[in-house]
A = this chain, B = another copy of it.
């Protein structure tokens, strides 16, 4: 929930030039109290709804990837025909309904800390992500 000058500051601080496309995308992604999930296509649709001058698809891809690299977005690890991104970069998990292709956050507090009792030599754990697949409960 920032205004444009704050996005500009944020972008500059992370070494990204504050172009009008990036600022627009910041607005679409972060000008809301609620975090949300999206695919590139859904983002393009959202952008076109709030703006008259459109942003090219390539730029949307580029920007989402730089934002991900800077830690402003997370990619959600599900197998799908397209990638899902999350504006909620806090540590949390997901329910996924494969039938409806519906993703729902699971608050970190609702998942007991996952203990991994093994490790790989020379590697450090970067993240632990839990994906809970759900289906209709027809019982």
Contact = CB atoms under 8 A, between A and B. Distances in A.
A111 B115 contact: yes
Nearest to A115: B112
A127 interface: yes
A101 interface: no
Contacts of A77: 77-79, 131
A89 to B, nearest CB: 14
Interface string A92-109: 000101000000101101
For the side of the interface on A, what is the size category?
Answer: 35 or more
Interface string A30-44: 000000000000000
21 contacts: A75-B79, A76-B79, A77-B78, A77-B131, A97-B120, A110-B116, A111-B115, A111-B117, A112-B112, A112-B115, A114-B114, A116-B132, A122-B136, A123-B134, A126-B133, A126-B135, A127-B132, A128-B131, A128-B132, A129-B130, A130-B131
